[in-house]
Amino acid sequence: MPELQRLRLDHGPAVLAFERENRAYFAKTVPDRGDAYFAEFDVRLAALLAEQATGVCQFHVLVEADEIIGRFNLVDLADGSAELGFRLAEKATGKGLATTTVRSLCDLAVRDYGLTSLRAGTTVTNTASQAVLTRLGFTPTGETTLSGTPGLTYTLNLVS
């Protein structure tokens, strides 16, 4: 059973492998990270971990048999709210893992990070992520652009 873990430095090689292996798959529905992301990965990972240490962001990986199969992040934590972002390896799709893991992250957001609401955005072509968000009670709130690509925004109230 996959386990959601908070991002650590020792996850680095597995995260990089995950991103490389799924780059073409991700590029079908989200803006590509670009070659610089991969060339400067170690610097980027160090920056993410430093940001996480401040509490402004909380980065997580979904681990199965020592392999990263997903990334699930809460960024820009402020005033009880954060932006949710997630991506799942192509080979892990269609099994309900994104829905299950986002649900777990929502619970974690309330319990460990004191959040009361989440925001999320998807490209208009990312129907799989839209389905996950809708399934979990996120409400569409409007349109946006994500790295120049048309997108949709969502919100979720975490407390009743």
34: domain CATH number is: 3.40.630.30
Low-confidence ranges of the chain (pLDDT < 70): none
* 116-141 pLDDT, tens digit each: 999 999 999 999 999 999 999 999 99
Residue 124: which residues within 8 A CB-CB, separation 6 or more? 149, 150, 151, 152
Q: Which domain holds residue 72?
A: 3-157
Q: What is the pLDDT of residue 89?
A: 98
CA 108 to chain centre: 14
Contact (Cβ atoms closer than 8 angstroms) between residue 18 and residue 68: yes
pTM: 0.95
User: DSSP 3-state assignment of 14?
Assistant: helix
Q: What is the pLDDT of residue 107?
A: 97
Closest CA to 14 of 49, 51, 41, 54: 41
Q: How many domains does the chain have?
A: 1
Q: What is the pLDDT of residue 86?
A: 98
Q: What is the pLDDT of residue 133?
A: 98
Strand segments, DSSP code E, in the chain are: 3-6, 58-64, 67-78, 81-88, 117-123, 139-146, 149-157
Q: What is the pLDDT of residue 31?
A: 86
